[in-house]
Amino acid sequence: MVWKNFDLLASYEALKGLDTVDVKTAMAGENGAKRVAEYKIPMSNGMVYSYAAKQVDDKVLDTLQALADEAALTEKYAELYNGAVINTGEGRLVLHQLCRGQLGNDVIKDGENKREFYVSQQNRIAEFANKVHNGEILNEKGEKYTTVVQIGIGGSDLGPRALYLALENWARANNTLKMEARFISNVDPDDASAVLATVDISRSIFIVVSKSGTTLETLTNESFVKNAIKAAGCEVSKHMAAVTSATSPLAGNPEYLDSFYMDDYIGGRFSSSSAVGGAVLSMAFGPEVFARIMNGAAAEDEKAKNPNVRENAALLDALIGVYERNFLGYQMTAVLPYSQALSRFPAHLQQLDMESNGKSVNRFGEPVNYQTGPIIYGEPGTNGQHSFYQLLHQGTQVVPMQFIGFKNNQMDNDLDIQGTTSQQKLSANVAAQIVAFALGKDDENPNKYFAGGRPSSIIVADKLIPETLGALLAHFENKIMFQGFVWNINSFDQEGVQLGKLLAKKVLAKDTDGALTAYSELLSIF
Amino acid sequence: MVWKNFDLLASYEALKGLDTVDVKTAMAGENGAKRVAEYKIPMSNGMVYSYAAKQVDDKVLDTLQALADEAALTEKYAELYNGAVINTGEGRLVLHQLCRGQLGNDVIKDGENKREFYVSQQNRIAEFANKVHNGEILNEKGEKYTTVVQIGIGGSDLGPRALYLALENWARANNTLKMEARFISNVDPDDASAVLATVDISRSIFIVVSKSGTTLETLTNESFVKNAIKAAGCEVSKHMAAVTSATSPLAGNPEYLDSFYMDDYIGGRFSSSSAVGGAVLSMAFGPEVFARIMNGAAAEDEKAKNPNVRENAALLDALIGVYERNFLGYQMTAVLPYSQALSRFPAHLQQLDMESNGKSVNRFGEPVNYQTGPIIYGEPGTNGQHSFYQLLHQGTQVVPMQFIGFKNNQMDNDLDIQGTTSQQKLSANVAAQIVAFALGKDDENPNKYFAGGRPSSIIVADKLIPETLGALLAHFENKIMFQGFVWNINSFDQEGVQLGKLLAKKVLAKDTDGALTAYSELLSIF
């Protein structure tokens, strides 16, 4: 496989030479309707990706196809899922997709079939969760557990938390909320205190999640929680479990109810599909629901194999993002889900994208001469419409947008008010916003004038259920992977985050280097 | 008062001609320590604003002072608080600061002293809240209320929600959590359903908040909640109150327990200081706590009068932001509070800033030739350190950062683990990050090399209590106001948000214009 910097590809030059598409013109009148009908891709699980309101036309799409072919993007994906060392910086395989299904050849590593390893851990978790749910595992007083609390930070927190919140109300409405889940992440001691103040410790299981078993925040919060368990008159060994690597100091700790394992081939931000997400979500919703999330993701992983950019939503989404970043000059993307249940999904994507592709060197450690990963942020609509959309509509800079919408809401509870249901209002709003961003609005009053031409795409699903949630997760993971391939960077290490961990340790050991005199002075403000 | 476009000022040219300060050099060694000692401003309530790690030196500061003087920024602030029509687009006064204290002359408008009006509403709210707390107002069964639920969106939601979450745990620890507060905002029916599923309706008071009394989402959710109240066998009139303008359809509704009033001179995003924040926060924490927030804000408003940029934190913060936006070319700012309690404060600031300054025309409706408001986003540290900080450290673009830190945590519950408390770890982390962003790190491995030179500032407070929270709120409001003055834009209207409201109404009336054929096609995807 040839890995070349983006700006050395013929398609880079071809993209540079293209005329810029004006979304305002493209989306107007009958032509706009025609674009919407044509510029969409069926995804897995009945979902649709619509890119009609993006700055592309057939010429741009053909050139993006040429880029996909020249950079061998789907071939690189195949290398990845067949077990190549794609994470060159750390010399590791990249196997988060393998957690969800077998996409290609068997991957044998460390003397074991990795798919079998992941399945075996999922099975161990399922058995444990079922025993907790059916009362085979009880607390010291012989009572059932009601709450599961995840103690983790970064990827051990944001992804599992976003997925939990996405399905919490759906699970409640469908009688599959087995245990409420809570999350402790921040080293800020008020975070742990606040969570502990609102759970019944005697009926809670705390899952300590750290791949290395050495994450400062997590170990600190573990001690904090252990103290609280003892103060509540309970036994630590009846209230803690671990998710960690088999070689970490946390593994097989006799103080824990049980330990579940992950390996080095799944980065934190991709670990929702591993035991990191599996344990807390299986305990909260039941293992069947977690399996449904994984099935939804696996179906989308399959779709991502297609080399045709007009049929592969993750691939085209990735390529349009690259085009926007490197040729249209946009520095960021706003992720705008029209579903309150996805309130923390943008925060998860922020980590996923910015931690993966916020790099300045290529996979060989050489500086690149082009922009890489964008800034990602977002909030659910319609809330954002009443807030920062002002700048998106009328600010001096263009921010590309990625909408997510649903045909139906999660709970059957909806009301017809003034002739439409709330869900109809929600769908009408997102469609109207896409059109308004594209077409703008003329007005004699310059204050009420909207230039339009602001590009967006949307993913539409029937309903936010485990399968579609899994597919959304996989879509964005695969989009980011393809972008990393185009930029020729390693999307799977995170030295910027490692620096933070290193600094914290140095600082706490009072080893702050002679050079960092500013640091002591800064601390004196505190 | 002369209002001129920024690029017509002599100081604009002067700023353009300045040498760029290299933070990496400036913050190294003894000089760095000296900068930290010098480049800070005492704020109100014992707080400190440190700008040592920003790309400024004495020359830049002098030129920013010249800009402040030439653009008459503090004089414009005085015009505002003395009652001039600063919101030219809508022909309105701008009086959110006046809610918090008398800063200048009496403001007489609509035949009343506006300060007296705000105080009278705060007093009415206090009386109502006290009666609810002491049991003079009870539900239909003669029971005390335990929960207050705010129904509002945009400014009626984000600010009050951020402030509530900021003090919830502090209030719990200090026995001043009188009622738990919840928030319903999204027109997504699952939002209301989810909140209703977790409160005891019979012991809840729902506050409907809409200045106009016509906000689609809020009225829809009001109907939704009314239905639920009836379904729970309760009387609507025992469970609802309103915050609205005196002339709105919601005002004085006999179906409500009571109505509290705001006026046209406080925009939604600035309305936390008005009855919009006052009602829910007084009910949740008691009126005395709300008064303490206001006092903290008023003290910071006083500080913002100082024309000396080296002594006025809001003014200098604003000017450095302008310098970064228009001369250093940065498009965004990350807000990074090291306190879990401030988890939604960045979302509030995102609205506050992007809705205020995301404009392309000046206050006379003429297009401006320079960039205006930046994109704002953020998450609490240390969580962000394990996530998107990767891009902030090693990405291809520089993102200026605004840290917020505290000397002490909110609750006394902290533990010494491995020689330091969690709060010490938290403070050490933020100080270490500031230094690491500024100085970077050399490494033979290019993957572990950090260029540094990434600018940040920090506000440090003793503890997140009502006064410091109010001061933080006022700081950012005043910062944004000063930036709007520099850019010569109207920071107090929001036509981009109005468009969304208009569209939603048109769409629901099936009046989608002949031109918007793309819209119907888009809806057909749903």
pLDDT 10s digit of each residue in chain B, 526 long? 899 999 999 999 999 999 999 999 999 988 899 999 999 999 999 999 999 999 999 999 999 999 999 999 999 999 999 999 999 989 999 999 999 999 999 999 999 999 999 999 999 999 999 999 999 999 999 999 999 999 999 999 999 999 999 999 999 999 999 999 999 999 999 999 999 999 999 999 999 999 888 888 898 999 999 999 999 999 999 999 999 998 888 888 888 999 999 999 999 999 999 999 999 999 999 999 999 999 999 999 999 999 999 999 999 999 999 999 999 999 999 999 999 999 999 999 999 999 999 999 999 999 999 999 999 999 999 999 999 999 999 999 999 999 999 999 998 778 888 888 888 888 888 999 999 999 999 999 999 999 999 999 999 999 999 999 999 999 999 999 999 999 999 999 999 988 877 777 777 776 655 445 677 778 787 8
Chain A residues near residue B421 by CB distance under 8 angstroms: 189
Chain B contact probe: residue of A47, A87, A186, A490 with most B CBs at under 10 A = A186
CA-to-CA distance for B128 and B145, rounded, in angstroms? 12
Chain B residue with minimal CA distance to A506?
A: B432
- B433 → closest Cβ in A439, A490, A500: A500
Beta-sheet pairing, B401-406 with B456-461: parallel
Q: Do B36 and A357 touch (CB under 8 A)?
A: no
Chain B residues near residue A187 by CB distance under 8 angstroms: 382, 422, 425-426, 429
Chain A residue with minimal CA distance to B53?
A: A518
What does the block give as tokens for A505? 């340790």
Answer whether A310's CB lies under 8 Å from A64's CB.
Answer: no
User: Which residue from A304, A436, A301, A464 is spatially nearest to A380, judged by alpha carbons?
Assistant: A464
Is the pTM of the predicted complex or chain greater than 0.90?
yes
SS3 sequence of B422-462? HHHHHHHHHHHHHHHHHHCECCCCHHHCECCCCCEEEEEEC
Q: Do A224 and B417 touch (CB under 8 A)?
A: yes
What does the block give as tokens for B39? 């480049």
Active-site residues of A: which are they?
A: 355, 386, 501
* Chains A–B, number of C-beta pairs less than 8 Å apart: 495
CA-to-CA distance for A371 and A373, rounded, in angstroms? 7
What does the block give as tokens for A182? 């809570």
Alpha-helical regions (H) of B209-262: 216-231
User: If you ran DSSP here, which 8-state letter would residue B284 be given?
Assistant: H
Q: Which long-range contacts (CB under 8 A, 24 or more apart) does B85-90 make?
A: B86/B490, B86/B492, B87/B265, B87/B267, B87/B490, B87/B492, B87/B493, B88/B363, B88/B364, B88/B490, B89/A447, B89/B363, B89/B365, B89/B490, B89/B492, B89/B493, B89/B495, B90/B264, B90/B492, B90/B493
Q: How many CA within 13 A on the CB side of residue B244?
A: 25
Q: Do B390 and A358 touch (CB under 8 A)?
A: yes
Q: Give one word for A46, left, alpha or beta, with left for phi > 0 and alpha for psi -120 to 50.
A: left
Answer whether B304's CB lies under 8 Å from B348's CB.
Answer: no
Query: Which of A96-110, A274-288, B419-433 has the lowest average pLDDT?
Result: B419-433
H or E element, residue A491: none
- Distance in Å, alpha carbon of B105 to nearest chain A alpha carbon: 31
How many residues are listed for chain A in this entry? 526
CA-to-CA distance for A90 and A86, rounded, in angstroms? 9
Answer whether A158's CB lies under 8 Å from A344's CB.
Answer: yes
CB distance from A210 to chain B under 8 Å?
Answer: no
Residue A316, C-beta contacts closer than 8 angstroms, at least 6 positions apart: A41, A49, A51, A61, A64, A309, A310
- Distance in Å, alpha carbon of B106 to nearest chain A alpha carbon: 31
CA-to-CA distance for A410 and A463, rounded, in angstroms? 6
Mean pLDDT, chain A, whole residue set: 94
User: Which residue from A266, A225, A228 is spatially nearest to A244, judged by alpha carbons?
Assistant: A266
ipTM of the complex: 0.96
- A358 → closest Cβ in B368, B395, B460: B395
Chain A residue with minimal CA distance to B515?
A: A29
Q: Which of B:434-473 have CB within 8 Å of A? A: 434-436, 438-439, 441, 445-451, 458, 460
Q: Please, what are the domains in chain A?
A: 112-293 (3.40.50.10490)
pLDDT tens sequence across A183-209? 999 999 999 999 999 999 999 999 999
What does the block give as tokens for B489? 């834009």
Q: Do A428 and B227 touch (CB under 8 A)?
A: no
The pLDDT of residue B516: 54
Q: Do B190 and A490 touch (CB under 8 A)?
A: no
* Torsional sign, CA B281, B284, B290, B292: negative
Block residue for tokens 């059957």: A412
CB distance from B495 to chain A under 8 Å?
Answer: yes
CA-to-CA distance for B260 and B125, rounded, in angstroms? 7
For residue A156, what are the CA distances in angstroms to A274, A290, A352, B281, B337?
10, 16, 12, 33, 20
Amino acid at B45: N
Amino acid at A138: L
CB distance from A373 to chain B under 8 Å?
Answer: yes
- Asked whether the bond before B214 is cis by omega within 30 degrees of 0, the reply is no
The pLDDT of residue B515: 46
Chain A residue with minimal CA distance to B415?
A: A224
Q: Do B507 and A157 touch (CB under 8 A)?
A: no
Clarify whether B393 is annotated catalytic. no
A517: confidence class by pLDDT, cuts 50, 70, 90: low
Q: Which of B:131-160 have CB within 8 Å of A? A: 153-155, 157-158
For residue B13, what are the CA distances in angstroms to B19, B323, B360, B512?
13, 12, 21, 47
- B411 → closest Cβ in A190, A360, A418: A190
- A431 → closest Cβ in B433, B460, B522: B522
CA-to-CA distance for B162 and A464, rounded, in angstroms? 27
Chain A residues near residue B355 by CB distance under 8 angstroms: 387-388, 390-391
Chain B residues near residue A526 by CB distance under 8 angstroms: 405, 407, 427, 431, 460
Chain B residues near residue A431 by CB distance under 8 angstroms: 507, 519, 522-523, 526
pLDDT tens sequence across A315-356? 999 999 999 999 999 999 999 999 999 999 999 999 999 999
Answer whether B343's CB lies under 8 Å from A379's CB.
Answer: no
Amino acid at B448: K
Q: Do A439 and B393 touch (CB under 8 A)?
A: no
CB distance from A45 to chain B under 8 Å?
Answer: no
CB distance from A295 to chain B under 8 Å?
Answer: no
Q: Give one word for B91, left, alpha or beta, with left for phi > 0 and alpha for psi -120 to 50.
A: left
Query: Which of A241-250, A497-506, B338-347, B478-487 has the lowest average pLDDT?
Result: A497-506
CA-to-CA distance for A366 and A369, rounded, in angstroms? 10
> Collapsing DSSP states into helix, strand and coil, what is residue B416?
strand
- B188 → closest Cβ in A224, A332, A338: A338
Answer whether A438's CB lies under 8 Å from A455's CB.
Answer: yes
Chain A residue with minimal CA distance to B215?
A: A386
The pLDDT of residue A216: 83
- B526 → closest Cβ in A347, A367, A405: A405
Chain A residue with minimal CA distance to B492?
A: A390
Q: Which of these is catalytic: B109, B305, B463, B501?
A: B501
- B414 → closest Cβ in A189, A338, A519: A189
The pLDDT of residue A410: 92
Chain A residues near residue B210 by CB distance under 8 angstroms: none
- Cross-strand pairs, B249: none
Number of H helices, E strands in chain A: 18, 15
CB distance from A216 to chain B under 8 Å?
Answer: yes
Q: Which long-range contacts (CB under 8 A, 24 or more apart) does B505-508 make?
A: B505/B216, B506/A432, B507/A428, B507/A429, B507/A431, B507/A432, B508/A418, B508/A419, B508/A420, B508/A425, B508/A428, B508/B216
The pLDDT of residue A515: 46
CA-to-CA distance for B428 and B408, rounded, in angstroms? 12
What does the block give as tokens for B148? 């207050």
Clarify whether B505 is annotated catalytic. no
To the nearest 10°, report the CA torsion of A88, A93, A98, A103: 70
Block residue for tokens 């228009």: B326
- B332 → closest Cβ in A29, A375, A435: A375
CA-to-CA distance for A341 and A375, rounded, in angstroms? 23
pLDDT tens sequence across A370-409? 999 999 999 999 999 999 999 999 999 999 999 999 999 9
Q: Do B386 and A217 touch (CB under 8 A)?
A: yes
The pLDDT of residue A141: 97
